[in-house]
């Protein structure tokens, strides 16, 4: 009938980007070159699946609409080199009317009469990242725009790369040039970036903590794409789907996609379809979200989560410490690490709760995931009592 509008998974922009309008307006103001805005340097943080990457995509689109140049990168070792060697030169080549003549004059002298190729650096002492960014900004400013540097997946292991880029950007920001930077990562990585030497400039950056969606936003994220594609969903089915997602964007798309697929030739999406979708989407949460979130934790951190999972709702920090046979002060170290990692939230003093939907249920069903961070259903079969006969 119609193509499925929902986009389950990671990094793929949803049909309706719900609940982010006010935020995007802040960036639109930056790109419209209005008053100076703190969003010229912003750090986006939130747990896995909350929508960091697709927000960056939307910010980049807003920049492109205003004819800004976008330099996008996913942080990993070697990003700076890739930017310097390939991406920035390619962008400059497209935009710089002088690129051709510069190539001839400055960079390479082709071999003549058997002499070996000689490479001459134009400005050998200047860091290339800085000079190329500066040139891109200059070109953008000439057409009344600027340059957006957008960096995804900030991680501890690549803080060195982030530092190189941040220094170059900071330099231009200080000179009040038309440049903006946005970087995204899970809370623990952003916390590490804020602590790192050479990245202090980010402490003055706008912090954007992405939250899950409200019930109204969730309903809109589900209903709008369905209506736009000419199908319908009843009130009860919509409410059930929205509530089951808990406003967690990853689940919104996952449930939406499966409800759509259930009976694609029937116009209305029924409560049966939603019921089925919720079951399938919940089952997929473990591998897609929960196990990856557990992977980076220490055994002690996971013990803390297992102790929390004994409660049906929010846990008291002292009860958790007791279950771990330690003092509340000692358990506080795990608590703050888990808060940093975006895995737990502290709704009030002395209380902790899971940040990711279904983590409690998953830990109860698969306690070994917590101990090893790996699926161990297969291993468990070896521990069961030996079959007789
Ligand atoms: N505001 C939103 N409204 C609807 N769906 C969203 C929203 N934000 C994210 N999603 C969906 O949630 C999933 C995870 O988003 P993603 O940006 O990859 O998360 P993160 O980068 O934080 O791990 C994707 O399927 C995406 O389409
Ligand atoms: Mg992402």
Distance 291 CA to ligand 1 centre (A): 18
Q: What is the pLDDT of residue 24?
A: 98
The protein residue whose alpha carbon is closest to atom 14 in ligand 1 is 49
The protein residue whose alpha carbon is closest to atom 13 in ligand 1 is 250
Q: What is the pLDDT of residue 376?
A: 52
Question: Hey, what are 219's tokens?
Answer: 């309903």
Q: What is the pLDDT of residue 183?
A: 97
Distance 269 CA to ligand 2 centre (A): 29
Distance 85 CA to ligand 1 centre (A): 31
Burial annotation 34-59 (CB, 10 A radius, 16+ → b, else e): eeebebbbbbbbbbbbbbbbbbbbbb
Residues contacting 210, CB < 8 A, separation 6+: 44, 45, 46, 50, 51, 52, 55
Report how far apart, in Å, the C-alpha atoms of 41 and of each of 75, 166, 181, 299 are: 17, 10, 5, 36
Q: How many CB atoms lie within 10 A of CB 245?
A: 26
Q: How far apart are CA 2 and CA 231, in angstroms?
A: 9
- C-beta 47 within 6 A of ligand 1: no
Task: Report the predicted TM-score, pTM, of the whole model to 2 decimal places.
Answer: 0.85
pLDDT per residue, tens digit, the chain (389 aa), is 569 999 999 999 999 999 999 999 999 999 997 667 899 999 999 998 999 999 999 999 999 999 999 999 999 989 999 999 999 999 999 988 776 555 544 444 444 444 444 455 454 555 689 999 999 999 999 999 999 999 999 988 899 999 999 999 999 999 999 999 999 999 888 988 998 888 888 888 999 999 999 999 999 999 999 999 999 999 999 999 999 999 999 999 999 999 999 999 999 999 999 999 999 999 999 888 998 888 878 889 999 999 999 999 999 999 999 999 999 889 999 999 898 888 998 889 999 999 999 999 999 988 776 655 444 556 566 666 666 54
Ligand nearest the Cα of residue 48 is: 1
Q: What is the pLDDT of residue 86?
A: 92
H helix or E strand, kind and range, residue 354: strand 351-354
Contact call for residues 69 and 148 (beta carbons, < 8 A)? yes
Q: How far apart are CA 360 and CA 338, in angstroms?
A: 14
Q: What is the pLDDT of residue 235?
A: 97
Distance 222 CA to ligand 1 centre (A): 13
Q: What is the pLDDT of residue 200?
A: 83
Contact call for residues 130 and 84 (beta carbons, < 8 A)? no
Report how far apart, in Å, the C-alpha atoms of 329 and of each of 68, 302, 304, 323, 338 are: 50, 17, 13, 14, 15
Q: What is the pLDDT of residue 239?
A: 98
For the chain, give the longest Cα–Cα distance.
86
Residues contacting 24, CB < 8 A, separation 6+: 55, 58, 59, 62
Residues contacting 219, CB < 8 A, separation 6+: 238, 239, 242
- C-beta 52 within 6 A of ligand 1: yes
The protein residue whose alpha carbon is closest to atom 6 in ligand 1 is 249
Q: Is 198 exposed, middle or buried (0-12, 13-18, 19+ CB in 10 A)?
A: middle
């Amino acid at each position: 009938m119609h193509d499925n509008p929902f986009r389950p998974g990671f990094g793929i922009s949803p049909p309706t980007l719900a609940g982010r309008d006010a935020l995007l307006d802040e960036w639109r103001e930056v790109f419209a070159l209005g008053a100076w805005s703190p969003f010229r340097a912003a750090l986006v943080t939130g747990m896995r699946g909350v929508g960091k990457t697709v927000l960056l995509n939307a910010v980049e689109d807003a920049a492109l609409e205003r004819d800004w140049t976008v330099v996008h990168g996913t942080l990993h070792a070697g990003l700076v080199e890739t930017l310097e060697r390939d991406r920035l030169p390619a962008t400059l080549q497209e935009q710089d009317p002088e690129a051709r003549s510069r190539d001839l004059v400055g960079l390479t002298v082709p071999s003549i009469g058997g002499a070996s190729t000689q490479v001459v650096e134009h400005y050998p002492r200047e860091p290339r990242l800085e000079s190329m960014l500066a040139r891109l900004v200059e070109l953008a400013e000439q057409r009344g725009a600027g340059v957006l540097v957008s960096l995804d997946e900030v991680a501890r292991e690549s803080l060195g790369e982030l530092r190189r880029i941040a220094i170059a950007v900071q330099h231009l920001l200080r000179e009040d040039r038309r440049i903006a930077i946005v970087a995204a990562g899970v809370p623990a990585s952003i916390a590490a970036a804020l602590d790192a030497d050479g990245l202090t400039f980010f402490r003055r950056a706008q912090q954007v903590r992405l939250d899950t969606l409200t019930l109204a936003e969730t309903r809109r994220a589900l209903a709008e794409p369905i209506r736009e594609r000419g199908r319908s969903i009843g009130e009860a089915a919509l409410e059930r789907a929205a509530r089951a997602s808990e406003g967690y964007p990853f689940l919104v798309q996952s449930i939406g996609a499966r409800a759509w697929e259930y009976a694609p030739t029937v116009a209305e999406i029924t409560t049966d379809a939603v019921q089925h979708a919720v079951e399938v989407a919940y089952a997929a949460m473990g591998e897609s979200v929960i196990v990856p979130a557990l992977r980076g934790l220490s055994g002690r951190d996971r013990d803390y989560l297992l102790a929390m999972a004994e409660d049906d709702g929010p846990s008291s920090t002292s009860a958790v410490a007791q279950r771990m046979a330690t003092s509340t002060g000692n358990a506080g170290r795990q608590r703050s690490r888990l808060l940093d990692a975006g895995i737990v939230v502290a709704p009030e003093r002395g209380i902790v709760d899971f940040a990711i939907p279904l983590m409690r249920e998953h830990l109860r069903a698969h306690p070994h995931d917590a101990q090893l961070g790996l699926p161990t259903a297969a291993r468990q079969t070896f521990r069961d009592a030996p079959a007789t006969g």
